[in-house]
Amino acid sequence: MTMREREVIQRLRRIATAPEARGLLDDVALLDGLVITHDSIAEGVHFLPHDPPASVGWKLVAVNLSDLAAKGASPAGALLSLTLSGDGEWENAFLTGVEHACESYGLPLIGGDTIALPSGSRRVLGMTAIGRAGERVPARATGRTGDGLWLVGTLGDSAAGLQILRQDRHATGTLVDVYRRPVPQLGAGQAIAPRAHAMMDVSDGLLLDASRMAEASGCAIQIDLDLLPLSSAFVAERGGGLEARLFAATAGDDYALLFSLPDGFDPATLSLPMGTRMTRIGSLAAGEPAIAASSGGQPVELPENLGFEHSSDEHRGPSAPPVADRP
């Protein structure tokens, strides 16, 4: 019998009872004005064995910063957990990626830990990121009935890039770049957090993460798939029809920001970074915590897998890298 991520979190809630843990309903803890998060990435789950090590280092930093972005926090420091294997060539390139990402986003590396792995072991890498809280730290549990549901960023690019690499490990292009080097929406998060009711990042798939917001906030969430923001590169690769939109809504690895704002809110009143793409994609309503999707004004049946959810035997999300890609 396998244990899934949801069951593990329910068990951990019996331990993490301090108010700083926020009931484990969020991706961060809030401690004395600091926003603290930890993310790990594993070979064969979050990155392919043949991904360039520098891009893996960049990605580890970026996924942690995305959690800070979703709380409107500014980077303050990070601790790195590094596994060592082989002659050190991979690790040196990995650390170059970590260094470049930390420099790009002003994240000081202040410590961590290293361990040696037996030869041939899959790498699991971790980082704890610490941010300074802004005037308000929105949770995923504070959405309100009647709010509009908004998204900053686009969906599906990373998973589309992964699919391209599954077919050709030497492929390049915009979608491959997005998969390998995600961009945390720090500036947008800091602008939106003071006004947002609920806020989180989209890392495991829009539908799955929206269902988590619905459950935490005690609201029903309605999503119009026709409104999902897709990049021109994604549409060129996979199209813009319903099948492509469901792929984008369940793919994961997007690191977009999902948040609720009062109905009628004018996004023009926000001082967003130049080029920020902000889209209203639905609404929060009274009712049992659940999500519903529509297209063309008609209900759409939700897929069995809403996104990327771990279990103790294997990752079953639609964007899981195949273990067969391991050389």
Q: What is the pLDDT of residue 155?
A: 98
In the block, residue with structure tokens 């043949």: 50
Question: Which of 206, 185, 205 lies closest to 270 in space, CA to CA?
Answer: 185
User: What are the tens digits of pLDDT across the range 192-216?
Assistant: 999 999 999 999 999 999 999 999 9
pTM exceeds 0.85, yes or no: yes
By DSSP bridging, strand 256-261 and strand 220-224 are unpaired
Cβ atoms of 280 and 169 closer than 8 Å: no
Residues 37-52, mean pLDDT to the nearest whole number: 91
Q: What is residue 3's predicted lDDT score, i.e. its pLDDT?
A: 55
Whole-number pLDDT of residue 191: 97
According to DSSP, the residues that pair with 47 across neighbouring strands are 43
Strand bridging mode 74-84 / 148-152: unpaired
User: What CA–CA distance (Å, rounded) separates 7 from 15?
Assistant: 14
Tell me the per-residue pLDDT of 105-132, one tens digit each, with 9 for 90 and over: 999 999 999 999 888 788 999 999 999 9
Three-class DSSP category at 53: helix
Per-residue confidence (pLDDT) for residue 166, from 0 to 100: 93
In this prediction, residues 251-262 reach a mean pLDDT of 95
CA 268, 272, 277, 279 torsion-angle sign:
negative
Query: Which domains can be identified in the chain, with CATH numbers?
Result: 5-136 (3.30.1330.10), 148-300 (3.90.650.10)
Q: pLDDT for 178-197, tens place per residue?
A: 999 999 999 999 999 999 99
Contact 267, 168 (CB under 8 A): no
Query: How far, in whole angstroms, is CA 295 from its chain's centroid?
Result: 24
d(CA 180, CA 95): 15
In eight-state DSSP terms, residue 311 is B
Q: Is 52 exposed, middle or buried (0-12, 13-18, 19+ CB in 10 A)?
A: middle
Residue 327 in this model has a pLDDT that exceeds 60: no
CA gyration radius for the chain?
19
Phi, psi of 106 (to 5 degrees): 65, 40
From the number of C-beta atoms within 10 Å of its C-beta (0-12, 13-18, 19+), residue 191 rates as buried
Q: How many CB atoms lie within 10 A of CB 81?
A: 16
Check whether 321 has a pLDDT greater than 50. Answer: no
Residue range 66-89: mean pLDDT, rounded: 94
pLDDT at 310: 55
Report percent pLDDT > 90 for the chain: 77
pLDDT for 319 beyond 50: no
Q: How far is CA 293 from CA 73, 228, 310, in A?
A: 31, 11, 23
| CB 43, CB 160: distance < 8 Å | no
CA distance 151 to 276: 10
Confidence label for 24 from pLDDT (cuts 50, 70 and 90): low
pLDDT at 315 over 70: no
Rounded to the nearest integer, the mean pLDDT of the chain is: 90
State how far the Cα of 83 lies from the Cα of 126, in Å rounded to an integer: 9
Antiparallel, parallel or unpaired: β 74-84 and 109-116? parallel
How far is the CA of 83 from the CAs of 4, 40, 89, 118, 125, in angstroms?
Answer: 25, 12, 13, 10, 6
Whether the predicted pLDDT of 229 surpasses 70: yes
- pLDDT value of residue 13: 74
CA–CA separation, 124 and 120 (whole Å): 12
